[in-house]
Structure formats: C-alpha cells, structure tokens
Structure 1
Amino acid sequence: MLVTSPQPDRRLRVVDAAESFEARAAAAVARARAWLPPVDESVFDCYLGHVVEQVEPTSEADPVAILASLICFAGVHLGRDPHVRAGDDRHPLLVWPLIIGHTNDGKKGSSWSAAKRIIAEADLDFTTANIKSGLTSGEGLAQRFALADDADPDAPPRDLRLLAFENEWGGVMAKMKREGNSLAHILRAAWEGGDLSTLTVSARIAPESHVGILAHITPGEFRSKLSDADMAGGTYNRFLPLAVAWSKALPDSTGADPGLVLSLAAGLADRLDSGGRLGALEIAEDAREQWRELYLEFNTDTHHPKVSQFVSRALPYCKRIAGIHAALDGATAITARHLSAAAALVRYSIDSARAVFTNDQEAGKLLAWIAEAGPAGRTRDEIRVSYCHKHKDKAEEVKHLLAELIGTGRIALGKRPTASGKGRAPEIYTAVQVPRGG
C-alpha cells in the first residue's frame, strides 16, 4: 500500500496569502495617508457628499478629492445667476480646488475619473464643450470670453462657463513665471467672475466670465515652484488647497456600477437645472448666529505666514461652498447644515495648507513610527533615543514636528502610568486614526 505524506491544505495557503495581502495593503495605505490632517465627517453631510459616499467604495481615490471635483463642476455648471454676497462684493459660486497629493499614492487622477463619470452622464454636452485643459497665458484665457468686433447685440446669451482641468499644475506655474505672462493677473480677475479684458497690443474686450479651475500637483513640486512673490500677489489665496492620498487598495475594482452612475447623474442633472435658476442666496435666519461665529473664526489669523496668505479667503470660500450646497438642494437660503458642511471643508483646507508647508515627508515618517506602537504609543524618551538616536539637531526638528502633529490632531499627547503606580507618569504620544476622507 502506497503511503503519502500529508500535504498542506491548499485552501489554507490561499487564505494566508489573502490575509497577507490585506495586511500589507492596509499598511501601505496607512503610510500614504500619514501626512493628512483629520477631516470632520460633516464635510460629507450634503447632497454631493452623499453622492460621493455611494461611489467611493469602488474607488481608490480620496473621497475629499472626489467631493471637491464635484463641487468645482457644480459651481461652474450652475452659472452666473445663483450667487452670494460679501459686503458690497458679488461672489459667483466658483470654487478652485488645488488637489495636493504624492505622485504614486495620491490617486489624484482616480478622483477625477470617479467624478467625471457622473459629470459626463449628467451633461455630456457641457463635458465636451466646457471642460478644457491647457492654460498658458492670460490673453489666451481672455480670448475665450472676448466679444467679437461685429457681435450681434440681439444674439442669444453666450455660454460663459469654463472648467479648466489641469492635472499638471506645476507646468502652469512655470508658465506664469515667464516674463510678460499675464495669466496670474487674469486668474485673479476670473475668480471674481468678472472682466478679463486686456489692454495689450492685441487688446480684448471680455466683460464677463465664469471660470472654475481644478488643479492637481504634488506637495514637493508646489513648494519648490511657489515663490514669496506668488503668495504676495494673491493668486494662490484664490485656491482651496486639499491634501489627499490613496484611500484603499482595490486591485480588482472596475469602478462604480454603471446603473448607479446613471441614477446619480440623473439626480445631479435635475438639481443643476433647478439650482441654476436661483438668484442671490442669503443666510437663513436660523443660521445667522452660526455664520457670525464662522465670521470670527475665519477672520482670525493664527497661522504660519505662508499658510495665512494661502487661506486668507477662507470666509468667502465658506459662503461660496455653502451656496453650492444650497443651490443643489433648491434652497433659496443657506441653512445651518449647508454652512456646517462648507466650514468643515474650509477647515480641512486650512489644515492641508499647514501640512503642505511643514516637512510632510518627515512628519509622515514620524507619525507612521508612532502609529506602529498602537495604543501603547511612544514616550518622549523613546523618541529621543530610538527615533532621533540622541542627535540634538534631529531632536529639535522632531520637537517642532510633534507640536505640528498635535496641533493638526494627528497625534494625541497623554500620560502613561508607571508600573508601580508611583512616581511621575511619562508623557506618551499616540497616533490618532485618520478617517476615510482625511
């Protein structure tokens, strides 16, 4: 009789391999997201947030990036009629997200792919005619809105809507630095939704515009190409910086179900149609006290100098985003819920700017190392000896990074009781779990 040696269970090996992949994938995603600030889940407590919640399970993109892409699109598509006011200024519902993520694990392109599927189904004609790439000069942008010399005054209104999608914003930044390039100046006017006329040799009369910009860039490239003059000029406080990263590993995903995309697109198309007929959106009576609190919060400057300039338009941005949420709900006034969702996104933007202008790579390494310790955390002495290897310069840098990580809510500082219960309890640093959207 032939005796065979027992063979390992093949099914067990497959399960082990799957568990190994899941664990390694989860660790890779955690590392990619380590530099992100936490996000308040009320960011998604709006119509577009609910759309994102239905498509993000099948996308590796950051839900914040998908949401921002849809907000940018909606603000452009709604057109010039729905608007908000800040003092004497009329603000169109234009939002310019600057999606900031690393090259491989930022999944910036994936976020646009997820959003664009819904956008294209909602309005294919708009997608074809009004979404363009290739910003190069101020004159080129102004030309799109310029009036022809023989323009017929009785002609139907022109479509002034344009969504400029720039997935390589670093290249646009380089063009803006060229001598004589007027793009930065024209962009500042475009954010106001206003006159893009030029007085150059080839003068153009372009009295109206409605331009949204959706830009992608890596944190390193943005920092390296951004000069003090750029910040002082005011171009970048027109943008809404949002730090993003890989949200989950889905090697076998084929994206959202086509039927779901069609259903979501149909609902969005209806809301865009009705919202586009609205006019001025005021603050609802029951939201006035909340608006006053936000007015004080976003007018208070307690930021790093670069962060301060970057987010100096936080208050009007809060109102613009809330206006988009209200318009898509068919509301004639901005409610407390609309304000809460908008304020949460603006706060995340402020924290994103702070993360970009700190050493995010080193901060991510430090955070990941602390996270590896789990609930036990790391003591100050462990950080000094095991992470800094007793190097004074390194320890000083880490001291500032710890303060930054605590300030943005990514690390918590507590106490670890001694084994005997006596003596001074050492301070302990533990990582705060970053939720799905940030």
Structure 2
Amino acid sequence: MSEHPVEGMTVGKVREILDLVMPETEADPAGVLAALLSQVSCMVGDKVMLNIGGREMPVSVWTLLIGATGKGRKGTAYAMAARVCNVACPDFLTDHESSGASSGSGIIRAFVKRRESALAAMRDAEENGREYAGLSVTDTRMLLVEAEYETVIKRGKRDATLQGVMRKAWDGADLQNMVADGGVLRSPRFVVHGHSTPRGFRDNISATDVAGGTYNRMVIQHVTRSKRLSMRHVINEDSIKEAGAILARAVAFAGGIDEITLSEEAIDLFDEGLRDEIDEYRCEDEYIEDFLPRAVENVWRVGAIYALINLRDEISVADIEAAWSFVRHGLDSVAHIMGESADMVSGETEEDKILKVLRRNPGGISGTDIFKLTGVPARYTKSWAEKREDIDMWRGLGSLNGGRKPTMFRLMTAEEMGEAGEEPTTSVPEQASGPRLKAIGCETPVASVTMSVEDDNEFADLLN
C-alpha cells in the first residue's frame, strides 16, 4: 500500500489544519488525522448528534494506529493532534482523557466516579460561596487512550463485559453496571484511540474477536514516519496556534447545533451506488470482510466531523468522499497488516489493475465486478474509461427485481480500433486464464470473472 496517501482524505479546513502542522512533525499525516478525529469527536460529542434517516447516533470516531515501534511515530501523531486541541480547548484533554480499561464495569465506574467528584466539587463551591468552574455533572465525554492496545484485546478475552460495554458505548446506548458500586450511565460519549504494533495486533486478535463487532467499530490506520526532521528543528508555535484557532471556531459552532444530517446531494451519492461500493469493498478479502459492516457508519461519522470543522450542519459530497477515502485506507491497512494476496501488494497502478481484469474478460465486465476484484471504485473506472478510445462502455441488463443497470466495460481489439489502433500496454504480464474468484461475503458471487489469486498466505492461520 502507498505511504502517506492523505490528500484525498481531507477537505477544506481539515486540510488547512494538516497543512499547518505536518511540517512540524515526523508523524504520518494519516496518524495525525486519525488522532485529531478521535479527539474532536469527543469534544463535540455532547453537543451534536448525527441524524441519518431519522436514526440518531453519536459522532464518535474510534481510531487505532498500527505501526512499528520507533518508526510508526504513533505517539508523535497523537501528541501533535493534542497540541492543536489544547489550543482550541485548553483543559479538555486534561479533564477527559483516561486509560487502563480493564473491564466493562471498570469503564462504567470511571464515568460514575468522575461524575461524583464533579458533584462533590460543585456542592463544596456552593457551600463556600464560590463560583463552580469545573466539569458539568452531566458531562459523559471520555477519551480512552491506550498506548498498547493489544493489552485491551487481551483483557477483552478474559473479561466478557469489556467488549460488550465498549460496543454499547460506541452505539451511544445507556450503560448499566450490575455491581454494587456501579450505576447507570445515560448515553455516554465514549471515544477510543489506541496504538499497537503490527505483530502485537496480529498475534492477539482472532476472527472471533473481529466478528464480535468491537474492533470493526475502529478505523485502523497503518502508519510510518513521514520524514526525518533535523535535531535543530524547532516547532513553529504560530502554525499550531493557527490550526488551533480553526478548530476552536469549529468547536464553538458545534456547540450551537443539535444535529447534523446528510445533504440531499450526499444522499443521492449513496443512493446512486456509493453505499454498495462501501459494503462490497474488497469483500472477497477474508481480512476485510468482517470490518465492512461498520464501514458505512464510520464514513458518516467521519464526514460529520469534517462538516463541523468546516462550519456546516450538513454533510456534503466532498465530506463523504474524503471520509470514504480515510475509511477505505483503514480497510486497506487491515489487509496490509494481516497479510494480503500478491496481486494487491505488487505495486500495480489502478490502471494496471483495471486493464488486467479487462484482458481476462474480453466479453466485458461491469464496473461493480471490477471494483470487487481490484478495489478500484466504479466511479474511477468510468472516469478513466471515458478518457480512452480503446474502451467500449454500455449499459448492461438490470436485475430481475428491477435494480440499476450496470455500466459494462470492454477492451477493444486492435482490429476494432482500425489498422492504426493499438492495444494499450501494461506493466502486468497478460495471463490467459486463472481460477474463478468467488466474492466471499458479497450478495452476488462473481461467477463470470476470472482472476489469479495467491492461495498461500503466511498470516492466514492467525485468524483461525
């Protein structure tokens, strides 16, 4: 997978923030962005809800950075995002950051204990005639930061309540502790940000863990050091303050609205195929398959944060496209960390991948099937094909139940192009045939498409 592909993941003011801070850090921009999304989503989580089709959900964005120790710059990424947040809201992280999740009941107790401390401080202030300036007793925001997230995975195997409470917290549901010193926590705004190494993640997570639904709620980002700064480099604090000022305006804006929704154009984008594209993204990949059920909602949540930072209460098409790019890179990160097929790590360009599939399907293939085999979005394939004279496009037959007619693509032969026409070349050797590929977990198997895949994978046994 390509390194530091952050350009398409940001939009408007979000991009401005990254442009301001990235010259000051060796962290991966995707890591800084992920940490910022978690921190900001916790900041605004008690002020605004996401409303999609009448269904309300928190804007909480859970992220996990995975990178080699010393080279991933995971802590550096979080620290840079924290610098920006500390300018925007100086006391927020001090008051709301926590760590050391050991059990489900422990998480609830941490919330209840903080509420009780705030209540006691408020009463003390009233009794002594002082103005109370501490945390609100109704503030249910908490940012759980785990520098070694594999320990949380291990604890989740020992304590069945931990993952259950975390899943409910992501959903924004009420939490209730059945132990004597517990209590009921109403609609918490609980956000998780973690760090792990590739080996630590691979060695501790199982297919059962992922299928359980806790870890697919997180957007995982594989991170590496973006550059090496001189030992003499001094952080430009003016840049940090400018980025913080942008964020401060966004937090103030979020405090004045109750909900954020999809714009009509964004709804059309989903209805015209984006939702299917997300649901089916590389769904034949066993490592990605279990992460797809939460991908659409994560796109909504990330898009909501993008809209708020850009001072809008509607999620635009640009927000959604940037959010999908961020979540898609997260899915690619999972496959990269857990082990991918040779086809997907060979360094092929998107054009190479499309041409390979077209050569193997001379009768034509739909954009959706190209997407399932290569991960190249159908919209990209169409835009690319429209610029070429050697690609034949037409509308295929719709499904029996009246579904959309697919756009079909076919590579024209030299004879069809005329004597002057030439077939395009590609860096990938042509392969006449290969085993049929079934799209595992998709609604419709790709029975008419052939493509070679590697069956042996050194990481395959890790999820058994």
State the shift of 1:330 in Å.
2.1
- Change in Cα spacing, 1:254 to 1:285, as seen in structure 2 (3 Å) is same
Report whether the alignment pairs 1:338 with 2:304.
no
**What is the match of residue 275 of structure 2?**
295
- Change in Cα spacing, 1:114 to 1:253, as seen in structure 2 (3 Å) is farther
**What is the match of residue 262 of structure 2?**
283
Query: Out of 72, 85, 96, which is 1:130 matched to?
Result: 96
Report whether the alignment pairs 1:143 with 2:109.
yes
- Change in Cα spacing, 1:144 to 1:277, as seen in structure 2 (3 Å) is farther
SS at match of 1:286: helix
**What is the match of residue 151 of structure 2?**
171
SS at match of 2:91: helix
Aligned residues: 347
- Change in Cα spacing, 1:311 to 1:254, as seen in structure 2 (3 Å) is farther
Report whether the alignment pairs 1:266 with 2:241.
no
Q: Distance in 1 between matches of 2:57 and 2:232?
A: 40
Q: Distance in 1 between matches of 2:318 and 2:206?
A: 37
Letter in 1 for 2:224: A
- Change in Cα spacing, 1:67 to 1:199, as seen in structure 2 (3 Å) is same
State the shift of 1:145 in Å.
2.9
Q: Distance in 2 between matches of 1:76 and 1:67?
A: 14
Letter in 2 for 1:346: V
| Partners of 2:68 and 2:198 within 8 A in 1 | yes
| Partners of 1:36 and 1:352 within 8 A in 2 | no
- Change in Cα spacing, 1:145 to 1:326, as seen in structure 2 (3 Å) is same
**What is the match of residue 289 of structure 2?**
308
| Partners of 1:66 and 1:115 within 8 A in 2 | yes
- Change in Cα spacing, 1:360 to 1:260, as seen in structure 2 (3 Å) is farther
Query: Out of 49, 52, 57, which is 1:91 matched to?
Result: 57
Deviations 1:262-302 (A, max 9, x none): 22212211211111321222221233221323222122262
Q: Distance in 2 between matches of 1:162 and 1:279?
A: 20
**What is the match of residue 299 of structure 2?**
318
Q: Distance in 2 between matches of 1:194 and 1:140?
A: 17
Report whether the alignment pairs 1:250 with 2:216.
no
SS at match of 1:94: coil
Report whether the alignment pairs 1:196 with 2:175.
yes
SS at match of 1:75: helix
Query: Out of 308, 312, 337, which is 1:356 matched to?
Result: 337
Query: Out of 193, 202, 224, which is 1:214 matched to?
Result: 193
State the shift of 1:211 in Å.
0.9
Letter in 1 for 2:333: S
- Change in Cα spacing, 1:269 to 1:184, as seen in structure 2 (3 Å) is same
Q: Which has the higher contact order (CA 8 A, sep 6+)?
A: 1
State the shift of 1:245 in Å.
0.8
Query: Out of 90, 104, 119, which is 2:85 matched to?
Result: 119
Q: Distance in 2 between matches of 1:37 and 1:247?
A: 8
Show structure 1 runs of 5+ residues with no match: 1-34, 372-405, 410-424, 431-438
Identity of aligned residues (%): 26
User: Once superposed, which parts of structure 1, at least 4 consecutive aligned residues long, lie more than 6 Å away?
Assistant: none
State the shift of 1:256 in Å.
3.1
TM-score where L is the length of structure 1: 0.71
- Change in Cα spacing, 1:321 to 1:184, as seen in structure 2 (3 Å) is same
Deviates more, 1:228-237 or 1:246-255: 246-255
| Partners of 1:37 and 1:352 within 8 A in 2 | no
Deviations 1:343-389 (A, max 9, x none): 1111111111121221699x98x76xx99xxxxxxxxxxxxxxxxxx
